[in-house]
């Protein structure tokens, strides 16, 4: 299986590569459009700030490439947020693959960023085959995707928010499956099995 990881200035690439390696998959870390287009599966990870990440993607013309992918794509954390229409983080226009909006956690009476383990529920995607309702996964984020018709899992941290979405061949998770132990490994394997 040919798996490509989008290389850009906001990727948590090493931990994703290590997680795939544990599953016996050697992935190709690349910012080459042809390599991404030719892959069987594409992973779009991310840790960082939305506007600078989008500037880099646009400069390298990866924004157009990501929008044109037809194989299964998995956005992770910032990767999920960048697939949305708009982020409140520095008023950023994102890729617009899904029409959802990214909001800042404000006045929730809890520590922000949301960092640590949290239960996920309303699991409704092949990504979660064999994953128990209310399983715990690992989060690090100060922004969240609002619930929408594309949501296939949710969590609560102050507000209820989308922790996973699916639109056509695009899947995305707000949490870090590569840091979520056996549950995260199962989710990554489910993605690879799509």
Beta bridge partners of 170: 73, 167
Q: E strands along 68-189, which residues?
A: 73-76, 86-87, 92-93, 101-104, 114-119, 136-141, 143-145, 151-156, 160-167, 170-173
The 8 Å CB, 24+ separation contacts for 60-64 are 60/8, 60/31, 61/33, 62/6, 62/8, 62/31, 62/33, 62/36, 63/95, 64/33
Q: Strand 101-104 relative to strand 86-87: parallel, antiparallel, unpaired?
A: parallel
- Name, in order, each residue with C-beta under 8 angstroms of 132's C-beta and a sequence gap of 6 or more: none
Catalytic annotation, pick one of 77, 89, 94, 141: 77
- For 82, the token pair is 């960048």
Q: Which of 89, 94, 141, 176 is catalytic?
A: 176
The two tokens of residue 95 are: 């890729």
How many whole angstroms separate alpha carbon 4 and alpha carbon 12?
14
Q: Has 94 been annotated as catalytic?
A: no
Which residue in 89, 94, 114, 178 is the catalytic one?
178
Catalytic residue status for 176: yes
So which residues are the catalytic ones? 77, 176, 178
């Amino acid at each position: 299986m040919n798996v490509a990881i989008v290389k850009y200035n906001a990727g948590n690439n090493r931990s994703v590569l290590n997680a795939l390696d544990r599953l016996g998959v050697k992935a190709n870390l690349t910012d080459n459009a042809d390599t991404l287009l030719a892959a069987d599966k594409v992973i779009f990870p991310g840790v960082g700030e939305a506007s600078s990440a989008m500037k880099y993607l646009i400069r390298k013309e990866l924004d157009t490439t990501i929008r044109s992918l037809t194989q299964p794509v998995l956005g992770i954390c910032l990767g999920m947020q960048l697939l949305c229409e708009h982020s409140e983080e520095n008023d950023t226009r994102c890729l617009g693959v899904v029409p959802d909006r990214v909001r800042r956690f404000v006045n929730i009476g809890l520590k922000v960023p949301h960092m640590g383990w949290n239960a996920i529920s309303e699991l409704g995607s092949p990504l979660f085959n064999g994953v128990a309702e209310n399983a715990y996964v690992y989060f690090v984020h100060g922004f969240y995707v609002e619930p929408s018709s594309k949501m296939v899992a949710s969590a609560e941290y102050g507000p209820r928010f989308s922790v996973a979405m699916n639109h056509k061949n695009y899947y995305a998770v707000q949490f870090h499956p590569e840091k979520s132990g056996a549950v995260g490994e199962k989710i990554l394997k489910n993605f690879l099995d799509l």
